[in-house]
Amino acid sequence: MGRYTFTPAAAYSAADACGTLHGDGARIELQVTGALFSEFLGILETAQEDLGRRWNDQGRSGCHAAT
């Protein structure tokens, strides 16, 4: 996330607990969007893992273009 850090609410915290976004000396509680943002980052992580796996599979098959 660049110079910002997302900290999700702990799984064992109260139901109304929210994640926070830290950066540039500011701390922002994500009261409305915390759960959505956490889900979005999970989806991005899954996509990154899938693309990495596909990239590595292509490398093993010799499909990468020479650089």
* Residues pairing with 21 in the sheet: 6, 28
- 45 part of a folded domain: yes
- 66 part of a folded domain: no
- 67 part of a folded domain: no
- 65 part of a folded domain: no
pLDDT at residue 14, as a whole number: 67
Residue with tokens 């989806």: 43
Give 4-60 pLDDT, tens digit per residue.
Answer: 888 887 766 666 677 888 888 888 888 777 778 888 888 999 999 999 998 888 777
Domain count, the chain: 1
For residue 39, what are the domain limits?
5-59
Q: How far apart are CA 52 and CA 67, in angstroms?
A: 18
- 38 part of a folded domain: yes
pTM of the full predicted structure? 0.56
pLDDT at residue 56, as a whole number: 86
pLDDT at residue 16, as a whole number: 67
